[in-house]
Amino acid sequence: MANPTAAMLVIGDEILSGRTRDANMHYLAGELTKHGIDLKEVRVVSDDAPAIVAAVKALSAAVTHVFTSGGIGPTHDDITADCIAEAFGVPIDVREDARALLAEHYANTGRELNAARLRMARIPDGATLIDNPVSIAPGFLLGNVHVMAGVPSVFQAMVASVLPTLTGGAPLLSQTLRVQRGEGDIAGPLAALAEEFDDLSFGSYPYQQNGAYGANIVIRAQDGARIDLAMTRLKALFSE
């Protein structure tokens, strides 16, 4: 049986402008791989409502799970929750359970639950809250879309709370062989080996370091024994 599939939607002008480097995609990809969920696509969109709505609709129809990152804070440009509600055609408003979480948190920290902070309690109808042990303001799940914060520490905490609730498949395994040859030299033999082991995934990733160059050849699959066999053949092909 094939593994469940996933896509990630990264939301924010700060990512596309280069002001902020996204770390969440790298983290999510690694966690999904360990859980046996295949990440198939990552999209990055600006803080533009029609673009977010269109991306959510397309991705949620294409994969088992969608994970969003960014745009659920207290400022005017945090529009993700509204866009998710629009994509699913449901109303959105302040929800009592989310408001209570924020009220307790801000009371304990001596800060006011003002109108801006209360925006983080606006949840689409029918959504399930996602726990946020770092800064309390919850994410949420609507349909197959998991809506989470963009701050890496919060995003990671939300992923940790979500993944145990999802059914995974067989984790993707990998082995790597570094060869000191150019890709032009290894392409032919590597293609022939990949054709022979067509149930495995072969990737070639060139490197150049301290005057030396070559390629890291990565073999990926769910079957560790098949990877071992293919790696033995690969080492024989490119033994120095």
pLDDT in tens, 171-199: 889 999 999 999 999 999 999 999 999 99
The continuous run of DSSP H or E covering 44 comes out as: strand 38-45
pLDDT at site 170 = 87
Q: How many independent structural domains does the chain possess? A: 2
Report residue 126 as tokens: 């029918």
Q: State which of 139, 165, 191 marks the end of a domain.
A: 165
Whether 140 contacts 125, CB under 8 Å:
no
Question: Using alpha carbons only, what angle is made at residue 93 by residues 88 and 96, rounded to the nearest 5 degrees?
Answer: 120
What's the confidence (pLDDT) of residue 240?
57
Question: 129 and 67, same structural domain?
Answer: yes
Same domain, 95 and 149: yes
CATH of the domain at 196: 3.30.70
Q: What mean pLDDT is predicted for residues 105-110?
A: 93
Domain CATH code at residue 119? 3.40.980.10
Q: Are 111 and 203 in the same domain?
A: no
Provide the whole-model pTM. 0.86
- From 148, 165, 182, the end of a domain falls on 165
140 three-state secondary structure: strand
> Average per-residue pLDDT in the chain?
94
Listed residue (76, 71, 78, 166) closest to 128, CA to CA: 166
- Clarify whether residues 134 and 16 are in a common domain: yes
| Final residue belonging to a domain, choices 147, 165, 183 | 165
Q: What is the C-alpha to C-alpha distance for residues 43 and 123, in angstroms, rounded to an integer?
A: 23
Q: Do 49 and 94 sit in the same domain of this protein?
A: yes
86 and 28 housed in the same domain: yes
Q: pLDDT by residue (tens digit) across 23-74?
A: 999 999 999 999 999 999 999 999 999 999 999 999 999 999 999 999 999 9
Question: Residue range 112-117: average pLDDT?
Answer: 94
Q: Give the domain range for residue 25.
A: 5-165
Let me know whether 19 and 130 are in one domain.
yes
> Do 95 and 183 have their domain in common?
no
